[in-house]
């Protein structure tokens, strides 16, 4: 059972958090969804995985954030800041006895949690879980033309998807074309920044930043077609007290199917890492 709370209101839309609250002294899991920052929604994680965290004693909270390109990354990231600050200020109202927490993000959601962990204006997590995430935007394949083997998405279709107002709900079947087009044309990074003078380095982690991160559980497939596998190796080598779970063969979101034995193992090991 979960409850929905509003943690912000921007551009005339509510930003909400879904709270799975349980009586526990263990850190809450603060979850941010993936989707290339262009699509996705806070309830994308299969309930079977959420239940595993709850069964282990971890409250679980999922958050909205506004999506690009209707909103640029600098504004989008303020939603993450607001979500974390809201949790810290309202943990008692949502049924928790403490404000200890662990970040959990998948793909772009992991990227957002890396930014948040670096952010000195925010409270620090005890640990982190990063499934097929990345700490930087200047990865070579992110700005090159990829997915050329898939039918090219016409710009007219993309223009028809992008709304006049920001959105927080971007189901894959409706907005994946935005991401695919951005990767096919090599414009994904530029789609995240409305102001071309923005210093992109403000939205990346340096090696020094990685050295300062808390213990982190990292999971990725060697055959990930979205995020190069070497990124996880870099994270593992740079983050102290990190653990790397490798799937030899699997798609980017190898955990899409909660009945996949490797996905189940990944979550069980992530939870065990949280409890160490």
Closest CA to 102 of 121, 125, 124: 125
Angle between helices 261-275 and 47-55 (to 10 degrees): 30
pLDDT at 83: 98
Q: What is the pLDDT of residue 276?
A: 85
Domain that holds residue 151: 3-275
Note the pLDDT of residue 91. 96
pLDDT at res. 1: 85
Q: How many structural domains comprise the chain?
A: 1
State residue 253's pLDDT score. Answer: 97
Residue 261 burial (CB < 10 Å; 0-12/13-18/19+)? exposed
Helix (H, G, I), strand (E, B) or coil at 14: strand
DSSP string covering 203-235, please? GS--HHHHHTSPPEEEEEETT-SSS-THHHHHH
Q: For the full predicted model, state whether its pTM sits above 0.85.
A: yes
Domain of 252, CATH number, reads 3.40.50.1820
Res 7: pLDDT: 98
Tokens linked to 43: 């309830």
**Consecutive 10-residue averages of pLDDT for the chain (276 residues):** 96 96 94 98 98 98 98 98 98 95 98 98 98 97 95 95 96 96 96 94 97 98 97 98 97 97 98 95
Quickly list DSSP for 145-210.
---TTSPPPPHHHHHHHS-SS--S-B-HHHHHHHHHHHHHHT-HHHHH-SSTTS-GGGGS--HHHH
Pairing of strands 28-32, 13-20: unpaired
Q: Are 215 and 242 contacting, i.e. CB atoms less than 8 angstroms apart?
A: yes
Q: Give the pLDDT score at 55.
A: 97
Residue 221's nearest CA partner among 93, 132, 98, 100 is 132
Phi and psi angles of residue 106, each rounded to the nearest 5 degrees, phi first: -115, 130
Q: How many CA atoms lie within 13 A of 248 on its CB side?
A: 1
In this structure, the strands spanning 28-32 and 3-10 are unpaired
């Amino acid at each position: 059972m979960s409850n929905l709370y509003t943690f912000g209101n921007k551009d005339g839309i509510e930003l909400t958090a879904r709270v799975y609250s349980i009586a526990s002294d263990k850190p809450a899991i603060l979850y941010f969804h993936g989707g290339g920052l262009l699509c996705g929604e806070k309830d994308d994680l299969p309930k079977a995985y959420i239940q595993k965290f709850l069964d282990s004693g971890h409250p679980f909270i999922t958050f909205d954030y506004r999506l690009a390109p209707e909103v640029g990354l600098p504004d989008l990231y303020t939603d993450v800041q607001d979500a974390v600050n809201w949790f810290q200020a309202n943990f008692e109202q949502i049924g928790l006895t403490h404000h200890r927490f662990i970040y959990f993000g998948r793909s772009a959601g992991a990227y957002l949690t890396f930014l948040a962990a670096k952010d000195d204006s925010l409270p620090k997590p005890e640990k982190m879980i990063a499934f097929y995430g990345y700490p930087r935007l200047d990865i070579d394949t992110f700005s090159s033309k990829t997915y050329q083997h898939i039918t090219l998405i016409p710009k007219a279709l993309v223009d028809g998807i992008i709304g006049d107002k920001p959105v927080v709900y971007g189901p894959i079947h409706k907005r994946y074309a935005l991401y695919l087009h951005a990767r096919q044309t090599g414009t994904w990074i530029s789609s995240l920044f409305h102001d071309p003078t923005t210093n992109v380095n403000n939205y990346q982690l340096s090696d020094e930043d990685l050295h300062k991160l808390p213990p982190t559980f990292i999971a990725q497939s060697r055959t990930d077609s979205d995020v190069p596998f070497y990124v996880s190796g870099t994270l593992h080598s740079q983050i102290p007290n990190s653990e790397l779970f490798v799937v030899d063969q699997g798609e980017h979101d190898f955990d899409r199917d909660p009945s996949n034995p490797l996905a189940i193992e990944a979550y069980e090991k992530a939870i065990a890492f949280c409890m160490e």
